[in-house]
């Protein structure tokens, strides 16, 4: 954990924002205990692909694949936390609990 904090401090010292952690769809499906197909159909708003406005009950999915390759969707940690809090879950930062 300290290495990540050092990395974030180094990035800030040169004017860069901290790195954003991105979950894969199979990781999100496993954490929510739903099938990946159900996750894709009901809980995602695909950036630059979905029509209409994102609802609060959808996570914003970003394609990280280069142009010309099949889509590789990811969910940012911040977006995942927003979504589960909206659904009524309580999240705890383990690093704060155990030091």
Could you give the CA distance from residue 62 to residue 21 in angstroms, rounded to a whole number?
Answer: 12
Q: How confident is the model at residue 1 (pLDDT cuts 50, 70, 90)?
A: very low
In the predicted structure, residue 56 carries a pLDDT above the cut 50: yes
Instruction: Render the chain in DSSP notation, one character per residue.
Output: -HHHHHHHHHHHHTTPPPPPPEEEHHHHHHHHTS-HHHHHHHSEEETTTS-SPPPTTSEEEEE-SPTTS---EEEEHHHHHHHHHHTT-----HHHHH-
pLDDT in tens, 9-36: 787 888 887 788 999 999 999 999 999 9
| Entry pTM | 0.77
In the predicted model, is pLDDT for residue 4 greater than 90? Answer: no
């Amino acid at each position: 954990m300290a290495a990540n904090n050092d990395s974030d401090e180094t990035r800030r010292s040169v004017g860069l924002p901290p790195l954003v952690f991105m979950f894969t769809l199979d990781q999100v499906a496993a954490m929510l205990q739903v099938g990946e197909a159900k996750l894709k159909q009901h809980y995602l708003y695909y950036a630059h692909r979905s029509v209409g406005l994102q609802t609060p009950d959808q996570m914003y999915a970003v394609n990280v694949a280069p142009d010309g390759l099949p889509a590789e969707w990811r969910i940012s940690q911040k977006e995942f936390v927003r979504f589960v809090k909206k659904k009524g879950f309580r999240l705890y930062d383990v690093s704060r609990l155990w030091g």
